[in-house]
Structure 1
Amino acid sequence: MGQDISNLYQLDGRVPVGKAVPFGLQHVLAMFVSNITPIMILAGAIGIDSVTSSMLIQNCMIIAGIGTLVQLYPIWRIGSRLPIVMGISFTFLSLAISIAATQGMGTLMGAVIIGGLVEGTLGLFARYWIKLIPPVVAATVVTAIGFSLLPIGANSFAGGQGAADFGSINNWIVGSITLLTCLLCQVFAKGFLRSLSVLVGLVAGYILALCMGMVDFSGIGSRPILSLPHLLPFTPTFNIGAILSIVAVYLVSATETIGDTSALCNSALKRDPNEREMGAAVSCDGFVSSVSGLFGCTPITSFSQNVGLVAMSGIINRFTIATGALIMILGGIFPMIGYALTTIPQCVLGGCTLMMFGSILYAGFGMMGRCGSSHRNMVIVSLSLSVGLGFTQATEMFNIFPEIVRTVFANNCVAVVFLLAVILNLVLPKDKAEA
């Protein structure tokens, strides 16, 4: 038994299914709502009917599971062989709504498919451009990702942005109890129970929410028992303007994947990612996103909240996380499983994720510390973060720019931070010790 537990902290350790499933489920619960939310928002914004919406939610769960499995168990040079969890990206949402509303879902899917092929190909040739992202740039991007996630955790804690009961006393109570349970389990529990602190907190919060009447099961009876995924629900069409716009956002998605890969390796594996891992992670991001387009879904990317979970729990075993990917696929094939997971209140998820998001920030700070405190690094980090985090809080500043620039940068601090950090790293003279 002791060997089984220690294997949870090894990439390729052998772990019995019974012990792997709770940890895999923990990853699913950490990202489930975030995975299906972009599709739900897109469907609502452009008026997709409820039957098609349900089918797309089912498809995006399956795609997230497939993408995670490819990251864990690579196909050729596609997949990093790291414990990265994939899911539908929020980064593309505003542009996806714009394209789908004006040109149709077929045009959006055509752009998603072609853009994914572009990003995937870039990942295959990472050795030619990966030097543009030295450790100080990666550390800055990881820190920006951590900061960008904090409002998401806070909004979930309060009940979810736009919820009728946002900030209510019930949400405060349930979110606080969930967070406190996670904290107590993290501080006082021993062994594998400590690594399950997020799941323990989530179960405690869910039971409390159930007792307070905050869980709704009214729709579960209308779900079919078995439903297979639907290929090509929309016929792809190809528009050069839509493709170029989507490709620009794919570059931002690649940036986030690079940052997540760096954060995961530094926090959980205690090392920097190598060139092959970086490129393979980006390739998976792109090529599986093309597959996502074939199933009528928007692109996928690595999920930062799961990077935070790996950092906090220390569980890096690939088989263990693969069980979570299989749960996602089963949730798509058996819709009642997926629906049951959607009943988790946002305040419970918020209570669980706050510590996880903070752990990404901690990883970014640690990476910065290893880069050294030279004057050059100080300028790159401080200016990139201040501009990226500051300017994207005042989005009207971007109104003078073309729509594609506003789409890519106005609401995405990670993209601004990455671009500025890369430029500063290229133009600033190296310190004498580095030259």
Structure 2
Amino acid sequence: MKNKTGRYSIYIRPTIIFLDLLIVNLLVLLCMRPAMSNFGYHTILTLFWLVISYYSGYYEVFRYSKGIEIFGKLLKQFFYISLITFAYVGYKYKYVTTDEVGFYILSSFILVGLLKFSIFILLKKYRILYGGNYRNVIIVGSGKNVDELRNFFTQNPDYGYNLIKIFDLKGNKKEALIDCSNYVIEHKIDEIYASISTLNNREINNLIQFADNNLKTIKFLPDNKNTFFRNLAVEYYEYIPIISLRTIPLDKEVNKRLKRFFDIFFSLLIIICLLSWLTPFISIIILIESKGPIFFKQKRNGLNYAEFYCYKFRSMHLNPIADLEQVQKNDPRITKVGKFIRKTSIDELPQFFNVLLGDMSVVGPRPHMVSHTEMYAKSVDKFMVRHFIKPGISGLAQINGFRGEVETEKDIINRVKYDIFYLENWSLLLDIKIIFITVVNAIKGEKKAY
């Protein structure tokens, strides 16, 4: 049987839509009383399911989509379906209970979610085992980005990309591009990946025109300066297109308020349930071992570079260089109690008061001491971008191994890359994922937690 290529096999999406509608409609019969199972409600449910999924991109799941992204789409879909269901129940309140509606929504969420993830995983397995549902691709250009993409294609067969050839354009570029165009047609290539750094504007426009005229998908790798490695946003001043270098989800008022609500809720939960009894205990053992205050406060830079006092349980003997030198492995300044609370990240818990006060967020780029911020701002490219959002107790860089001491230039560069990715791709689900991994790492113990 000939393998089919393309973004989706033509039957996959319609089949998934049919099965989803079948599940949510059949469960009305099983979970709620007959009064809800009528032609009017089934029509409303089906219609709204299709409309909501269209505008929310619920079925826009690609082979490179991440599990957390798919789960987010599922949550969004059922949030709106829940509103519609409860609104209809308000009209039929005499014939169905809130418990029955809640059980229906939960059952639908679980079954539709299982179906969605099962198909996503099975498609990945199918690509690996049988080589089906793949796309033939070529790469045009050369350089570090091209090498990284080639390695990605060859090392991740589950994504379903079949790299056929690389046109490095190192010889006669004009002839090579003509050969490339002919090759795409002759070998039925589905997607073209072109390196911007290898091509000039005219060659890029010619490639786009060729792809459009031959129904081929073309995608570009960013240049060496990462000019295009951003969430570019296009706005119009009347009819004049203006490109912003990045979009920051937390610039939107609704996202800002959602994150703030979560921060207040989560910080109060930790303060009431954990710090209320842990603080007296930690305070006693800190004072028994060494003289000094229970809490250590240090000026750090936060949102828009504003300075604030960041609070921690004191883990070191009093010393005059606490605000100048970062803690190192086997640092003699650290007390015995300090080693334990730093290893388990207990020393960071007072920062939930910073969150409650609004200086920090539960998740965000880790704030540096002022002296280090000034140093990195001069030496590390894009370091100041981190200050577009509030700093956090934990962050994406920290759960990926870039916490604690900055031992090499690579450490701070990668930390900045993760922080910028976070601020450009923020979601509440990403925050929850980071919190979960942070807790797991704290329990296991981390290599750089000293």
TM range, smaller chain: under 0.3
Q: Greater helix percent: which structure? A: 1
Q: TM-score, normalised by structure 1?
A: 0.22
Q: Higher relative contact order by CA 8 Å / sep ≥ 6: 1 or 2?
A: 1
Q: TM-score, normalised by structure 2?
A: 0.21
Q: Greater strand percent: which structure? A: 2
